[in-house]
Amino acid sequence: MSTAYSEAYLQRFGGTARLYGQQALAVFAQAHVCVIGIGGVGSWAAEALARTGIGAITLIDMDDVCVTNTNRQIHALRQHVGQSKTEVMAGAYPGD
């Protein structure tokens, strides 16, 4: 599996390629993962997937950010209270 990556992409995900190999990076870049529930565990899982170079991530959660989420959910900041969890989380990686 041979894929040409931009310099910016390699700067961002080069560590993933060194750890797992170029072939795995190509698989990750083409993968689509769905995370159902982006609370205390799901938000961190989605973050890890994005930082690993997964090509597409679908986030499903019908809840809004609540002040009680701020101690355990990566996207739950005071300025996001009352906003959709999925919109806040997706906004962390616009266009990625």
- Residue 52's Cβ-side half-sphere holds a number of Cα atoms within 13 Å equal to 21
What pLDDT sits at residue 51? 92
In the chain, % of residues over pLDDT 70: 93
Element (H, E) at 19: helix 7-20
For residue 16, the one-letter residue type is T
Per DSSP, 59 falls in state E
Mean pLDDT computed over every residue of the chain:
90
Per-residue pLDDT tens for 7-54? 888 899 999 999 999 999 999 999 999 999 999 999 999 999 999 999
Q: How many residues would you count in the chain?
A: 96
pTM of this structure: 0.82
> Across-strand partners of 32?
56
| DSSP-derived 3-state class of residue 89 | helix
What pLDDT sits at residue 1? 47
Per DSSP, 33 falls in state E
